[in-house]
Chain A
């Protein structure tokens, strides 16, 4: 029960309203960062699965042999970090995706994707900070 008097419990966001808006790049079955919709689209066994940047906590990357591994960490409850008001918990009984890891032999591409996601996250955080300062 931390809804708050000002009604800022959870700000609704959505990546795409329907499939028609998915960018063409998802066909390659590779991770794609759609800056326009602030969304990262992950390939999952043939599906194109969007994740809004608000659901993403951070990314980490490491090289191992022939492959580069990219791990996307998501915002979930039960984590110590993060302010309560920023966490998108519409349904407290829901299950959450906490992380997803990928590998690719194209390390340069994963470098670029990690940077794009980190930059997008920074940009959103900065904008949110400005919004809060304006509100005060």
Chain B
């Protein structure tokens, strides 16, 4: 038996599609393009549920440490998705807590392939380190990360593109020698 969810996004892709789950695995197909993402059941190791911009995200961890994300689920879909993960793949859908406090201070923590920014021990956002094109340390307490710009043609309809973030990390001043003088990579 296959269960289908409509109006689901894959990754940061702007195209909506249909998401299907069955005993054999899960698949996403774009509505207006010939793009398909298929994951076979035995490859699925874990699943997480978290609030993102496009409603809720189902994040699936795969056996080769890769992961896939699907956005656009509704709050009410949680129990259904949790049931399907359990029934078909024998895994528990974990909820990842996201904070919306609106604070700009917290803890920056490398978690796998991401730099997570945590506020009161909850995730505020994650930055994929693979997307970092350049990083710099200025004045020992400031770290900047520049992101590789998309190769899409400029479009007024495109989402806003983050190009740089700067952190102030006061802790690095006290321990001399731990921070390299020119942190450029």
Q: Which of B1-39 contact A (CB under 8 A)?
A: 11-12
Q: Across the two chains, which residue of chain B brings its CB closest to A105?
A: B154
Establish whether residues B149 and A103, one from each chain, have CB atoms under 8 Å apart when the complex forms. Answer: yes
Say yes or no: is A98 at the interface (Cβ < 8 Å to chain B): yes
Of A76, A77, A89, A95, chain B has the most CB atoms within 10 Å of the CB of A95
Distance of A74 Cα from B158 Cα, bound (Å): 25
Q: How far is the CA of A104 from the CA of B141 in the complex (A)?
A: 29
Count, A-B residue pairs, CB within 8 A = 162
With a cutoff of 8 Å between Cβ atoms, the chain B residues found around residue A104 in the complex are 156, 158, 160-161
**Chain B residues touching A, majority SS:** strand
| Closest chain B residue, CB of each to CB of A16 | B100
Q: By the criterion CB–CB under 8 Å, are B102 and A15 in contact? A: yes
Segment at the B interface, from A39-47, A119-127, A128-136: A39-47
What is the number of residues of chain B that contact chain A, defined by CB distance less than 8 Å? 48
| Interface footprint category on A | 35 or more
Which of B55, B104, B160 is A102 in contact with, Cβ under 8 Å? B160
Residues of A within 8 A of B170 (CB): 77-78, 92-93, 95-96
Interface flags for B163-176 (1: CB within 8 Å of A; 0: not) read 11111111100000
* Residue pair A13, B102 in contact (C-beta under 8 Å): yes
Name the prevailing secondary structure of the A interface residues: mixed
The complex places the Cα of A96 from the Cα of B106 at a distance, in Å, of 6
**Complex Cα spacing A31 to B163, Å:** 13
The docked-state distance in angstroms from the alpha carbon of A89 to that of B119 is 13
B100→A22 contact, CB < 8 A: yes
Name the residue in A16, A21, A45, A89 with the highest tally of chain B Cβ atoms < 10 Å from its Cβ: A45
Binding site for B on A (CB under 8 A): 13-22, 26-31, 37, 39, 42-52, 55, 66-67, 69, 71, 74-78, 88-106, 109
